[in-house]
Amino acid sequence: MTQTQVSQVDPQDELRAIYVAHYRFQYLSAAFEFGLFSVLAEAPGLTRAEIAGRLGLEEQPARILLLGLTAFGLVRKDGDRYSNSAITEPLASNTDQVPAAFIPYHQHITYRSMGWFHESLKKNTNVGLHREFGDDATTLYARLATDPGLERAFHNAMGGFSQKVSDELAATLDLSSYAHVLDVGGGTAVNATKLARRWPHLRVTILDLPTVAEEANARSASAGLGDRVRAIGLDAFGDEFPEGDYDCVLFAHFLEIWSVDRIRAVVGKAARAAGPNAGMFVVTPFQDDAETGPQHAAELSAYFHAVASGEGMVYTPKEYESWMSEAGFRPAGRAYVNNLVDHIVISGVKSGDAGRTAS
Ligand SMILES: C[S@@+](CC[C@H](N)C(=O)[O-])C[C@H]1O[C@@H](n2cnc3c(N)ncnc32)[C@H](O)[C@@H]1O
């Protein structure tokens, strides 16, 4: 057998791994919800009976759980004693931060709703959101506002993810020549507080939905940045942007949620709100210009379409540059941010000004 043959995955095995993937995730998610990985980190080498006792499980469910976790490589069994595997060790602590926070996020937000993917493609809308979370809201974000538990699951994952990306962002974005950033869809101020710390002269105004803006203001106040980072609650599409001396616009993980028409409208609105020679930074996952991947772009596109908004997807850098140009911003460079998954920063400068770029 040649080297290539050894490393090749049997297509039938690969197919099977796909159609049973939900079992693997459910074992992981159930064990996480029981707190098993934290228990095993604290007391490695527990027996099945000891684990059942700690988790409050009867014997047969404990046996099933541990069989699956062992079979899928999520815990190790040595003799009759169990401990975390390398895969699950990172899930034992900091359970409201990534990577652990991704588990309740996928379990409670994307798992069942993605089961409506086929219907969502056929109907060209987010059937998953409506079937799993009701018809009260047209986007997941508006729905979250009425459910504190879901909102926490979402923002723990998104905020934790942003913590990682924002470290690289703070190092990547050159904001030295800007004084006031308009951070559209800025979330709970994770990016804004990092950027404000990195650039001590900088002010940031976050625009986000009212419940999120409230949390952003609380975070900024507790970080001692209340005088420079403030959030305003509004609907970025339905409401006017508040007037201000903005000389830079940031769209971080926001535009990809929406349709091309909405993106063009909101980029145009931001362009009108920003002063002459303003900068623009779009931070986003991207699909390559050849439209072949990466996989992360495909995952997120399915999620936006079937759940989050029913209208967005992960676009190409070329498309963003064309929307910027249309709004009067000259594209001024691309920088790659690869901390967790592939992201890009696309920068632009309001026409007439040269020389401000992402890196
Ligand atoms: C994926 S999160 C990105 C948060 C942040 N910019 C970051 O990079 O971590 C998208 C944000 O858009 C906000 N959002 C959704 N719809 C909105 C709307 N109509 N107006 C303003 N913000 C909105 C959500 O509340 C959420 O905070």
- Predicted TM-score (pTM) of the model is 0.87
CA distance 256 to 176: 27
The share of the chain scoring above pLDDT 70, in percent, equals 95
Q: DSSP E strands: which ranges in 81-202?
A: 81-84, 180-184
Task: Give 351 Cα–ligand 1 centroid separation in angstroms.
Answer: 27
Residue having the nearest C-alpha atom to atom 4 of ligand 1: 187
Residue having the nearest C-alpha atom to atom 13 of ligand 1: 185
Of the pLDDT bands very low, low, confident and very high (cuts 50, 70, 90), residue 166 is confident
Task: Give 88 Cα–ligand 1 centroid separation in angstroms.
Answer: 30
Residue range 127-149, pLDDT digits in tens? 999 999 999 889 998 898 888 88
**Are 342 and 285 in contact, with CB atoms under 8 Å apart?**
yes
Sign of CA dihedral 147, 150, 153, 155: negative
- Residue 186 near ligand 1, beta carbon < 6 Å: yes
- The 3-state DSSP class for residue 124 equals coil
Residue having the nearest C-alpha atom to atom 27 of ligand 1: 187
CA distance 265 to 130: 25
Residue having the nearest C-alpha atom to atom 14 of ligand 1: 185
CA distance 335 to 126: 31
Task: Give 34 Cα–ligand 1 centroid separation in angstroms.
Answer: 31
**Are 342 and 286 in contact, with CB atoms under 8 Å apart?**
yes
- Residue 187 near ligand 1, beta carbon < 6 Å: yes
- Residue 252 near ligand 1, beta carbon < 6 Å: yes
Closest ligand 1 atom, residue 235 Cα: 20
The one-character DSSP state at 116 is G
The DSSP H or E segment spanning 42 is helix 36-42
Range scoring the smallest mean pLDDT among 5-9, 280-284, 331-335: 5-9
Closest ligand 1 atom, residue 250 Cα: 6
Look at residue 358 in the predicted model and tell me its pLDDT.
45
Look at residue 355 in the predicted model and tell me its pLDDT.
38
Domains and CATH numbers, the chain: 3-89 (1.10.10.10), 120-350 (3.40.50.150)
Nearest C-alpha neighbor of 337 from the set 312, 315, 313, 359:
359
Range scoring the smallest mean pLDDT among 73-82, 112-121, 161-170: 161-170
Task: Encode 32-53: b = buried (16+ Cβ within 10 Å), e = exposed.
Answer: bebebbbbbbeeeebebeebbe
Q: For residue 339, is pLDDT > 90? A: no
Residue range 239-275, pLDDT digits in tens? 999 999 999 999 999 999 999 999 999 999 999 999 9
Residue range 106-126, pLDDT digits in tens? 999 999 999 999 999 999 999
- Candidate from 208, 259, 309 with most ligand 1 atoms within 8 A of CB, to mutate: 208
Higher pLDDT, 229 or 172: 229
Closest ligand 1 atom, residue 183 Cα: 6
